[in-house]
């Protein structure tokens, strides 16, 4: 799962495209850790390993992992499990993390937990929990910039007994302010989902700082690995004639990063597999950049690059 920057010269019989894979594209550290843990467990124990939710938001990688015994289940299935199920498979908590209620339920059902929550997410959960306990006696609020319903965000909101206010974008924030759902007279603590856009988060924080009567606590909680990719991808998109962005359809990070590429290069195309590549996207001799989300496996980036090279 190692990431590296490489160039693939186009096939002489094809369009002569110059193809380059962006050096930092592919799994982030948290996803590498979770998938590696699942692979080791299945290699050593065989059988089945249950993952609460998709371990990674990429259909091709999920299909590969399913082939070696990893089965994604939802909360509805977990509620029907008991200690007897645990003899067949423990429960893997993916890198996105879970709210405290999930751990309590697993303990109640007698199910062993393999916790693969990303360390960055774990620290964020703890910081939100501490801020909530500190602000609640004063009527304060926790604001989380993130995608409503996203697995990581559900785990973050769970640290506040469900009381945190999730803001998806600037129009939503302005709507909440207009509706009086945020009290400008009370203390605020602002956090971000780890994979969100740093620039958009800065705008949201600036709006709250200018509006609130009490200086809000602003926490820098976007993963540094994710944040650094924004400037790198911006340059990468501008350096190439065409960008092919490889991502799963459900990847929140994929949507953010592919939109970033598209802002810097309108000729950005999203694909989930090599089969979706359209030869009409490319002109002879062009420079093509291949990149992907933190949930995109390196092997899939290689396959897409090879498919473009062979055109």
Does the annotation mark 152 as catalytic? yes
Out of 20, 98, 152, 168, the active site residue is 152
169 exposure class (CB count in 10 Å sphere: 0-12, 13-18, 19+): middle
Residue of 274, 246, 311, 289 whose CA lies nearest to 23: 289
Beta carbons of 209 and 216 less than 8 angstroms apart = yes
Q: How far apart are CA 19 and CA 203, in angstroms?
A: 35
> H-type helices in the chain, by residue range?
29-45, 59-67, 75-79, 83-88, 100-109, 119-135, 151-157, 170-178, 198-211, 224-239, 252-264, 298-309
Edge-to-edge strand ranges of the sheet holding 113-115: 70-73, 49-52, 91-93, 113-115
Q: How far apart are CA 256 and CA 261, in angstroms?
A: 9
Question: What tokens appear for 92 in the block?
Answer: 């893997």
The CA-atom distances, in angstroms, between 139 and each of 45, 181, 210, 219 are 50, 13, 20, 19
Residues in the chain: 311
Question: What tokens appear for 143 in the block?
Answer: 């604001």
Q: Which residues are catalytic?
A: 152
């Amino acid at each position: 799962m190692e990431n590296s920057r490489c160039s693939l010269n186009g096939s002489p019989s094809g369009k002569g495209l110059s193809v380059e894979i962006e050096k930092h594209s592919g799994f982030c550290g948290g996803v590498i850790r979770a998938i590696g843990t699942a692979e080791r467990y299945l290699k050593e124990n065989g059988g089945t390993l249950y993952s609460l939710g998709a371990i990674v938001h990429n259909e091709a990688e999920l299909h590969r992992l399913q082939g070696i015994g990893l089965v994604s289940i939802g909360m509805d299935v977990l509620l029907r499990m008991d200690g007897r199920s645990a003899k067949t498979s423990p429960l893997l908590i993916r890198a996105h993390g879970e709210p405290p209620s999930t751990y309590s339920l697993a303990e109640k059902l007698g199910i062993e937990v393999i916790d693969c929550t990303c360390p960055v997410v774990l620290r964020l959960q703890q910081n939100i929990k501490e801020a909530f306990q500190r602000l609640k006696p004063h009527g304060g609020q926790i604001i989380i910039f993130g995608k409503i319903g996203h697995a990581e965000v559900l785990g973050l909101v769970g640290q506040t007994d469900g009381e945190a206010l999730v803001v998806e974008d600037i129009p939503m924030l302005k709507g909440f302010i207009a509706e009086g759902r945020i009290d400008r007279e009370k203390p605020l603590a602002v956090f971000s989902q780890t994979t969100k856009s740093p620039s958009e988060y800065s705008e949201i924080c600036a709006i709250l700082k200018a509006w609130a009567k009490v200086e809000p606590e602003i926490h820098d909680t976007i993963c540094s690995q994710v944040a650094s990719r924004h400037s790198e991808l911006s340059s990468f998109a501008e350096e190439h004639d065409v960008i092919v962005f490889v991502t799963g359809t459900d990847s929140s990070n994929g949507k953010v990063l592919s939109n970033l590429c598209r802002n810097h290069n309108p000729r950005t195309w999203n694909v989930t597999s090599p089969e979706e590549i359209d030869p009409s996207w490319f002109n002879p001799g062009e420079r093509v950049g291949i990149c992907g989300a933190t949930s995109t496996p390196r092997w899939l980036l290689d396959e897409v690059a090879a498919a473009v090279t062979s055109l």
